[in-house]
Chain A
Amino acid sequence: MSGSNNGNSQNGNGYRIIGSRPVRHDGVDKVTGRALYGADLRLSDCLHGKVLRSPHAHARILSIDTSEALASPGVKAVITSADYPETESKIIDLGEGPAILKDLRANLLADGKVLYKGHPIAAVAATDPFLAREATKKIKVEYEVLKPVLHINDAMAEGSPLLHEDLHTDSLGKKSDKPSNVAKHLRFEIGDIDKGFAEADEIFEREFDTAMVHQGYIEPHNATALWNADGHLTIWSSTQGAFSVRAQTAGILNIPESSIKAVPMEIGGGFGGKIPVYLEPIAAMLSKETGKAVKMTMDRDEVFESTGPTPGSVIKVKIGVKKNGKITAADASLAYEAGAFQGSPVNCGMMCIFAPYDIEHVRVDGYDVLVNKPKTAAYRAPGATNASMASETVIDEIARWASLDPIELRKLNAAKEGTVRADGLAYPRIGYVETLEACESHEHYKAPKEGSFRGRGVASGFWFNCGFKSSVTVSVEKDGTVRLIEGSTDIGGTRTSLAMQLAEILGIEAEDVRPMVVDTDSVGYTDITGGSRVTFATGLAVIEAGKKVQQEMARRAAQLWEVDASDVEVELDVYRSKSDSSKSITFKELAGSLDETGGALSEQASVSPQGVGGGFGTHIVDVEVDPDTGKVQVLRYTAAQDVGKAIHPSYVEGQIQGGAVQGIGWAIYEGYHYNEDGHMTNANFLDYRMPTTLDLPMIDTILVEVPNPGHPFGVRGVGEVPIVPPCAALANAIYDAIGIRLRELPMNSTRVLKALLKEKGALPQGVEA
């Protein structure tokens, strides 16, 4: 286990580079404003595109008349879904998972029906963004307005208006007779749930309701497309995965993936929200129509209303427990908002909800529910935060009932190596208990709680992390530096975490590696930057390519000395002849002799790894509740996480701090607010309240290092776990402060104040609790 913020990493366990804190390779560009993000691209003779979006949450489109828009000043093209090319296929493979093509298309340009406010209907290309926007106002659309379905409970109710008349509930391959807004029902079952509850001394049954939230990346979506006369399409955009941009665009436009070059620009935050494409295929169609490059950028309200937030949910939890605190059975039902098209991360929520615990009898049901809101997308450990809010607050209740410290109760029931999760899989070596122990012995947890309306809460969370596919190319320069060509867009410093792994393997310095994220024509296939997978999976590709480089360097040394390759041994950056100790050469010197030993040296590796290491985190938070306003102030925050092995501890801490703060925002500030017409009423950063510097204390981190056996350096993904515990930790702290359990998110001042007034019987008449 190593220390918290900004301390020197204990770099003493045999590594030279891993565990150190070099300056990131792309750093200077980013502090001087020179880094090129998508919106910074300037192409010659470029048009600008704007999208007409639905003013209604649910309506049938009766007619679209684009003639006046087309005749407007500067306008070169107007497109609607009628301009999509024909296609045969139904499902496209996006590498990390398949997608329903019809839905992808209809989400980008509405087909017959608009399903949420902000749903794109048509797009205009003009000589100037202002003229393009003006022209969208001249597109005439006739609607038959329908009643919007805005809450899960309404969507699941008998007789609810249907978003898709042809959608039937799928229960693992069996379709419901009647159409429904429930796209999917899934169930996990291990043990015998009735037997488990029969063994319990007490049963806790609670219901939760959480609001839709947005990833809130600061950079709005953007895309520029050039459909060249030779049939090749180039797309520059802000994305978590250039190859995914290529696959989605190719599928939607029914063209070969190989005819597209996707260029990932610097990305201004993603958190899962920049995996789906929104603008790329539209810019491409406009470019094809006009023969010119077309650039599109979203405004902030478009980002809120028309990209993929993460779902609100209704979750029921039932846990049976013995007097001694041992959990005997757990049952949960999770209904997640899919938005306008199916595909919420409810499956992940189901797998995570009881993941920290070793429970013999478990049942979990999940429902993927359509509502007239934007199609949801991933957001950092998608689905897990909602689930953890529910289970981890019930766990806190149980601890109080059993008169056990909440960490003690968790240790008593903790998942360990071999524990079987609700979905049936058994854990490899995990570090959950270690995070609990780290919190228990931390100064924060031992510090006395002082003052009224103050409380402390604890919660834990789990995320799988992902593997998927990655490719890299490593080339040696004559001066002994090394180029690392990769396809994982760098959101949080992965150029450096990869370069460090390569430097460790080759015995050189991190600064001697030049990492570059390149376009899809210039590197082997690489899946998205998501699932906290890059340092792990692309790292494995880097290690493999690095070892190949080392082997080849040894062969070159052998050639230089005219000895057999097996005679050469390598230690760090020194290559030696085993038989003749006078023969020794450094990596740098050998790099200078490449020409005499056969020329350029370049090695490639592509991986599709198993051995992904899941991660656990446990957070402690102290809050103060203002009894007059209901405002919750975070006083102190400590996050412990099993990170496997921290390659660059500063950026690992940064991931934990950033994730925790997004979780704090989710807990006490953020949420999509809808009026009864289904219009989001807070689609801006003033009213959609994300945490600021003023709202927060420092976020202390405890890096627990239980190495992942599936990675030579022990790397586990670290980016997603930290968003999972905060909501429940805050809810538990608020209970500790005011003695009221809040089971709805966000726990903003309005909600807290109402709860306080209700408790006192002082809620004014006519105010809903």
Chain B
Amino acid sequence: MPKIIIPSQLREVTGGEANVSAQGSTVLELIENLDEQYPGIRDRLIEDGKLRMGLAAAVDNEVSSYGLKQKVSEGSTVQFIPAISGG
């Protein structure tokens, strides 16, 4: 099952748990399924159908332009980090 590292500020939703697992083949599915275990986490991550402004999803240490539609495999680790831009 894909692993998810819960951002520090959302660990209040997971009862302090930083490392959790959920089923799913995309980042969105993962979040949807996670929300069943930890109600409310979806709305902390997703806004207007997209990842919350300023947030990016990294699958196995790589951020892609696919956002919530990014593919996730069984052994993947998903993290939520700030989106970056540059000068």
Contact = CB atoms under 8 A, between A and B. Distances in A.
In the complex they form, whether A and B have CB atoms below 8 Å apart is answered with yes
Interface of A: 90-91, 96-98, 100, 171-174, 184-189, 215, 270-273, 275, 347-348, 350-351, 363, 378-382, 423-426, 428, 463-469, 528, 530-533, 608, 610-611, 717, 719-720
B54 A187 contact: no
Given A424-B79, A426-B61, A381 B48 contact: no
B43 A173 contact: yes
B84 A610 contact: no
Nearest to A95: B65
B64 A347 contact: no
Nearest to A215: B87
A755 to B, nearest CB: 30
Contacts, number: 109
Contacts of B87: 215, 270-273, 275, 378-382, 530-531, 719-720
Contacts of B22: none
A424 B87 CA distance: 23
B35 to A, nearest CB: 12
Contacts of B55: 172
Given A188-B8, A425-B79, A426-B61, A351 B53 contact: no
Contacts of B54: 97-98, 184, 347
Contacts of B9: 171-172, 174, 185-187
A424 B86 CA distance: 20
A532 B86 CA distance: 7
A382 B87 CA distance: 6
Given A97-B54, A189-B8, A465-B86, 4 more contacts: A172-B44, A173-B44, A185-B9, A382-B85
> Which among A98, A350, A717, A719 has the highest number of chain B CB atoms within 10 Å?
A98
Nearest to A610: B62
Contacts of A466: 84-86
A423 B58 CA distance: 11
Given A189-B8, A423-B81, A610 B63 contact: yes
B81 A351 contact: yes
Contacts of A423: 79, 81-82
Contacts of A717: 86
B72 interface: no
Contact of A351 (B43, B45, B48, B84): B84
A186 B86 contact: no
A464 B44 CA distance: 26
B7 A98 contact: no
Interface of B: 5, 7-10, 18, 43-45, 47-48, 50, 52-55, 58, 61-65, 79, 81-87
Contacts of A378: 85-87
Given A173-B43, A608-B65, A91 B53 contact: yes
B53 A464 contact: no
Contacts of A468: 65
A523 to B, nearest CB: 18
Contact of B86 (A172, A272, A363): A272
Contacts of A91: 48, 53
A403 B74 CA distance: 48
Contacts of B48: 90-91
B47 to A, nearest CB: 7
A531 B9 CA distance: 27
Shortest beta-carbon contacts, A-B, top 6: A531-B86, A272-B87, A173-B44, A347-B82, A189-B8, A378-B87
A381 B85 CA distance: 9
Contacts of A184: 54
Nearest to B7: A172
A351 B82 contact: yes
Contacts of A351: 81-82, 84
> Which among B9, B48, B64, B84 has the highest number of chain A CB atoms within 10 Å?
B84
A114 B40 CA distance: 37
B86 A608 contact: no
Given A172-B7, A172-B52, A173-B43, A531 B61 contact: no
Contacts of B63: 610
B47 A173 contact: yes
Nearest to B65: A608
A473 to B, nearest CB: 21
A426 B85 CA distance: 19
A275 B52 CA distance: 22
A464 B84 contact: yes
B52 A173 contact: yes
Contacts of B52: 172-173
Contacts of A96: 85
A91 B87 CA distance: 21
Nearest to A420: B61
Contacts of A97: 54, 83, 85
B80 to A, nearest CB: 8
Contacts of A173: 10, 43-45, 47, 52
Nearest to A171: B9
A211 B37 CA distance: 46
Nearest to B82: A347
A608 B64 CA distance: 8
Given A272-B87, A608-B64, A186 B82 contact: yes
A620 B50 CA distance: 44
Contacts of B64: 608, 610
Contacts of A381: 86-87
Contacts of A187: 7-9
A215 B5 CA distance: 37
Contacts of B50: 98
Contacts of A532: 86
A273 B87 CA distance: 7
B86 A464 contact: yes
Nearest to B48: A91
Contact of B58 (A271, A272, A425, A467): A425
B20 to A, nearest CB: 14
A196 to B, nearest CB: 15
Given A172-B10, A464-B84, A425 B61 contact: yes
Nearest to B86: A531
A469 B65 contact: yes
A719 B87 CA distance: 9
Contact of A425 (B45, B81, B83): B81
B42 to A, nearest CB: 10
B46 to A, nearest CB: 9
Contacts of A464: 84, 86
> Which among A172, A275, A381 has the highest number of chain B CB atoms within 10 Å?
A172
Contacts of A528: 85
Contacts of B53: 91, 98, 100
A233 B7 CA distance: 44
Contacts of B18: 189
Contacts of A100: 53
Nearest to B11: A189
7 contacts: A172-B52, A184-B54, A186-B82, A424-B5, A424-B58, A531-B87, A719-B87
Contacts of B62: 610-611
B86 A530 contact: yes
A275 B85 CA distance: 10
Contacts of B5: 424
B81 A531 contact: no
A530 B85 contact: yes
Nearest to B81: A423
A533 B86 contact: yes
A466 B82 CA distance: 13
> Which among B52, B86, B87 has the highest number of chain A CB atoms within 10 Å?
B87
B83 to A, nearest CB: 6
A555 B44 CA distance: 53
A98 B43 CA distance: 18
> Which among B47, B65, B81, B85 has the highest number of chain A CB atoms within 10 Å?
B85
